[in-house]
Structure 1
Amino acid sequence: MTATIRRVDRSRPEPLWHQAEQALRGLIADGTWPDGTQLPNEGKLSEMLGVSRITIRHALRNVEESGLLRREHGRGTFVRTSTVTAGVRGLTSFTQEMADRGLVVGSRVLEMVELPASPEVANALEIAAGETVVKVRRLRAGNNQPMGIQNAFIPAERVPGLVDIGEPVPSLYELLKARYGIAPQMAREIYRVGAVSAEDAPLLEVEAGSPAFIVQRITSDGRGPFEYTVSTMRGDRYEIRSRLQL
């Protein structure tokens, strides 16, 4: 693999590792290194960028921690722009999470209907079972690769006319804020390991039973819970990382 890479400029005030990191990110962002590309080894990158191996390791670690690279023991380092890494973060939508990682978000509404709240949904939204909720079911993608299926439930009385909007819903949070003045203030999430259902498998382009993260999220504003979402995220394209310290 041959690529033109911007060498570091030692006359600039930015640290060498930062310049190296930005050069690597640039090759990923502009498509020079597409998803699945194997990077040159550390020695070659050091030569290409004009920095030491220690500097390269620092830059590679930062890009890897942001979810854009994966290291495979005995094989090397690969680009993985279609993977979302979840970790300590602020209260953001999937759309913003994808944008923060330099991915092009995709969203397709599969279903938007009003229906009675099940006991599970009612308990999460702190409403009575049977009350009307709006269900928004969407296929979420990054860089044209299917990532997951999200089923969001919202009390219908808070979003009158939502099912009749007749427009795409790439970011539900942006729509709720613009049309109904609903803005998230806090959320609780639960992650568990599960499997892709037979219904979701064709949409996610995997076999039924494939590993997945099942993510439950309850989002609230000043009036209380306004959204309960259950997401099935592909296990090979979504991961969770935490940084622990004493």
Structure 2
Amino acid sequence: MNLESNKPLYLQVEADIRNSILQKKFRSGQKLPTENELSQQYNVSKITIRKAMSNLAKEGMIQKVQGKGTFISYKKDKLLLNKARGFQDSLSNFGHSSKHKILNVSIIKADSDISQKLNIAPDTTIFFLERLIWEDAAPIAIDRIYLPEENFPNFMKNIAEDKSFYQILQDNYGIVLNKSILEINGVIATKEYAELLQCNIGDPLFHIEKIGYEKNDCPIHYSISIVRCDRVSYVVSTDNSTVMDEKIIR
């Protein structure tokens, strides 16, 4: 432990155990050392160990079994990129509860990049929606969504924290997403991202740009998602009918 760090000791212990799990030093189902053993290993009090373990349990990383000990329960969820759906639908398929908190909703003007992606004129008024997505008891992603104002009347009145974005499109506008094009890159957590996602500054994150389309290949929305790499993996399934559009690959 770094005694000169401003970071509380229990958070340092929590981060070290989490990293050990993510680096597969511990495996799913493996029993962790006891509180006494961890206390001696990290040279901290048992109260510090309990606080660290409590946070890891809330994240679903570990599970305490009465009379048997504490076990690694963490396993990354694998999200199929082939499916045109949102976080809430994807996470519920794995048995997770999902919720989102609206951070910002406003009307802005499309810049040249967004107007090109949505196939609209520059300076067209668009809705901007920013949400914090939760998986169970831990934040997993920041979602920023852009869509043309004229196509979605009363959108600001229709958004709700208990409804997914795609559910709102279907229920209020009769729109069902037909396909999506995604571009995935990697970024590191800034102070802003770390505070919202409850991770460490410098942690790796997915940066996902997505354009959703209707059946007529008309863009519905453009979004940018910042996702914790330690919570999910993205999987692409291909077969002989899969076509890679070279115009999209840069």
- TM range, smaller chain: 0.5 to 0.7
The CA RMSD measured in Å over matched residues stands at 2.8
Query: For 2:121, what is the secondary structure of its paired residue?
Result: coil
Match of 1:177 in 2: 170
Are 1:109 and 1:169, in contact at CA under 8 Å, matched by a contact in 2?
Answer: no
Distance 2:159 2:237 in 1: 42
What's the secondary structure of 1:209's corresponding residue?
coil
Q: Deviations over 1:159-184 (max 9, x none)?
A: 11111336325310010111111110
Structure 1 residue 39 corresponds to structure 2 residue 29:
yes
- The structure-2 alpha-carbon separation of the partners of 1:221 and 1:104, relative to structure 1 and needing over 3 Å to count, comes to same
Give how far 1:86 is off. Answer: 2.3
1:186 to 176, 179, 182: 179
Deviation of 1:242 after TM superposition, in Å, equals 4.5
Q: How far apart, CA to CA, are the structure 2 residues paired with 1:169 and 1:227?
A: 20
Corresponding residue of 1:136: 129
Aligned ranges for residues 9-28 of structure 1 at < 5 Å? none
Asked if the contact 1:107/1:141 (under 8 Å) is kept, the reply is yes
C-alpha contact 2:158 2:168 (8 A) present in aligned 1: no
SS at match of 2:187: strand
Counterpart mapping for 1:38-117 below 5 A:
38-39=28-29, 78-80=72-74, 83-117=76-110
* SS state at 1:176 partner: helix
Mapped contact 2:182–2:209 kept (Cα < 8 A)? yes
2:229 to 220, 235, 239: 235
5+ residue gaps, structure 2: 1-25, 32-59, 62-70, 241-250
Q: 1:226 aligns to what?
A: 220
Report the counterpart of residue 157 of structure 1 in structure 2. 150
Amino acid at match of 2:163: P
User: What displacement does 1:121 show?
Assistant: 1.2
Q: How many residues align?
A: 178
The aligned counterpart of 2:19 is none
User: In the alignment, is the contact (CA less than 8 A) between 1:108 and 1:170 conserved in 2?
Assistant: no
Q: Distance in 1 between matches of 2:81 and 2:158?
A: 34
Moved more, 198-207 or 122-131: 198-207
Instruction: Tell me how far apart the structure 2 counterparts of residues 171 and 115 of structure 1 sit (CA, whole Å).
Output: 22
In structure 2, what is the Cα distance between the partners aligned to 1:145 and 1:192?
Answer: 23
Q: TM-score scaled by structure 2?
A: 0.64
Cα distance, 1:200 vs structure 2: 2.3
Question: What amino acid is the match of 1:39?
Answer: G
What is the CA-CA distance between 1:222 and the residue it aligns to?
Answer: 3.3
Distance 1:115 1:147 in 2: 26
Q: Report Cα offsets for 1:58-93 as digits up to 9, x if no partner.
A: xxxxxxxxxx99xxxxxxx94226x43223542122
Q: Would you say the 8 A contact 2:128–2:146 is kept in 1?
A: yes
Q: What is the CA-CA distance between 1:197 and the residue it aligns to?
A: 3.0
Q: TM-score, normalised by structure 1?
A: 0.64
The offset of 1:149, in angstroms, is 0.2
Aligned to 2:194: 201
Unmatched segments (≥5 aa) in structure 1? 1-35, 42-67, 70-76
The AA in structure 2 aligned to 1:150 is: D
1:213 alignment counterpart:
206
Which segments of structure 1 move beyond 3 Å, counting only runs of 4 or more? 241-246
Q: Give yes or no for contact 1:212–1:233 (8 Å, CA) kept in 2.
A: yes
